[in-house]
Amino acid sequence: MGNDRETGPDSQPHPPSAVQAPPRPLRFAPVLWRALLGATRDLPPTHPLTRQLRHWRAELDAAQPPPQLNATQVNTLIRAALPGLSPHAPGLEIGAAQTLTAFGPAGFAMMTAPTVGDALHIGLRFQHLIGTPLILRATQHAGELHLHLRAGAELHADVERFLTEEFIASLLGILRQETGRDLRPHRTDLTGPPPPLDGRLRYHTAFGPVTFGAPHSTVVLPGAWLTLPLLRADPATHRDALAWCGRLTHTAPPQPDQTFDAQLRDCLRLQPPHDRDLGTVAALLGLHPRTVRHRLSRLGTTFREVRAGVLLDEAREWLTHTPDSTETVAQRLGFSDARSFRRALKAWTGHTPQELRQHADPE
C-alpha cells in the first residue's frame, strides 16, 4: 500500500483496473420538482399518482426537500407532466430557470469555488445532493472536457431525453451566470431523433452545435473553461459549504464502493497530472489517504491502478486524435520524458505510442 504514495506517472507500472458504477438514487432538483408537480395538478382522480401527488405537494408546501423516487415513479411522473409543460422543448425552458442556490449546500459550494473546474468537480462529487436521476461522468479528450450523461435506472427514452436536455440547459445557464461570460460548448450530442425543423433553432441557441441520434448524450466543453474564475468565489463560505456537504453525505445511506471508484476517476480527470498524488486527491474527496486505500482494496484495486487507468485513457485520446508528438503527449500527461512514457505505455498495453497510433489508423 505504501507504493500509492508515489506521485508521478513515471512510477505507475501496474495495468489499470475497471469497475462499473451502479445507479445513483433518483432525485430531482427543487426547480424541476416544482415544475413537475405544477404540471400535474389536473390529473384525473384515477391516475396512479394522484394520491402520491397530494402527499408530495403537502411536503413541498412544508418546504421539505424533493423525495427519493424509484424508476417507475420517475417515468410515470414525467410522462404525466409533459402535456402540462411548454410544448416547445420544456426541458430547455425549465433548465434555463435553474440557479446554483436551488441545489442546496452543493450549489453554494459550487458557487463559491475559485474556478469552473473546481465547481464541476464538486458537482460530480456531490451529484447525489444536487438532485438528478442521471449519472454524470467527466473525461478529458485532447484539450476538451466531455461530460457524459446517462440514465441511472430503467428510464424510458423520452424521459431520459427530457432530463438530459433540462440538465444541460441548467448547467450552461449557470456557468454563464457565474462567470459573466457568454460561454458556448464545442458541441452537444443528444440521443433520440431530432425535433421538427422549426424547433431545432431552440436547441442550437441553447447548446450551440447539436448532433441528434447520438448513441450517448454528451456535452463537450473547451478545456480552457476549467481555469475560468467564478464571480462569487469566497474561500470561507466555500469551506463551510463543503463541510456541510460532507456532513450530509456521511449521514445519508452509504453508497456502494463502486460509486466511490467512479467518483475517484472523475476527481483525477479534473486534476492536472502533477496534482494527482494520493494525498491531494484524498483531500479533495474529504477523506484520509488510508480511507481511500481501504475502499479501493475492497474493490480489488489500488490508487496507482485507478490513476494509471485515467492516464491510459488520456494517452489513447492524445495519441489517436491529435498529431502531437510522443514527447508533447508525455509532457501533457506529466511524465518526465518521452522515454518513461513509452516504458509505462508498453507495460500497460504491450504497445508503444507509435503502435497505438498505427492501430487507430486503418491506413
pLDDT tens per residue across span 74-121: 999 999 999 998 887 899 989 988 888 888 889 999 999 999 999 998
Q: Is the residue at 268 inside a domain?
A: yes
Predicted pLDDT at 9? 60
The answer on 86 and 219 residing in a single domain is yes
**Alpha-carbon distances, residue 75 vs 26, 71, 85, 149, 218 (angstroms):** 11, 6, 15, 17, 22
Q: Is the residue at 302 inside a domain?
A: yes
The answer on 289 and 169 residing in a single domain is no
For residues 24-36, average pLDDT: 81
Confidence band of 16 (pLDDT split at 50, 70, 90)? low
The pLDDT tens digits for 296-340 are 888 888 998 888 888 888 888 778 777 778 988 888 888 888 899
Domain tally, the chain: 2
Name 11's bridge partners. Answer: none
- Asked if residue 281 has pLDDT above 50, the reply is yes
Predicted pLDDT at 19? 40
Q: Is the residue at 240 inside a domain?
A: no
Predicted pLDDT at 160? 92
Q: Is the residue at 143 inside a domain?
A: yes
The answer on 166 and 68 residing in a single domain is yes
The pLDDT tens digits for 258-273 are 467 777 887 787 777 7
The pLDDT tens digits for 52-72 are 999 999 998 988 888 888 888
Predicted pLDDT at 128? 77
- Asked if residue 355 has pLDDT above 50, the reply is yes
pLDDT > 90 in the chain, percent: 34
The answer on 295 and 211 residing in a single domain is no
The answer on 197 and 54 residing in a single domain is yes
Confidence band of 18 (pLDDT split at 50, 70, 90)? very low
Domain, as residue range, for 151: 30-227
Write down which residue in 211, 227, 243 finishes a domain: 227
Q: Report the CATH number at residue 349.
A: 1.10.10.60
Confidence band of 21 (pLDDT split at 50, 70, 90)? very low
Task: State the Cα–Cα distance between residues 245 and 106, nearest whole angstrom.
Answer: 6
3-state SS, residue 191 = coil
Q: Is the residue at 237 inside a domain?
A: no
**Alpha-carbon distances, residue 317 vs 95, 238, 310, 354 (angstroms):** 31, 34, 11, 13
The pLDDT tens digits for 235-246 are 999 988 888 888
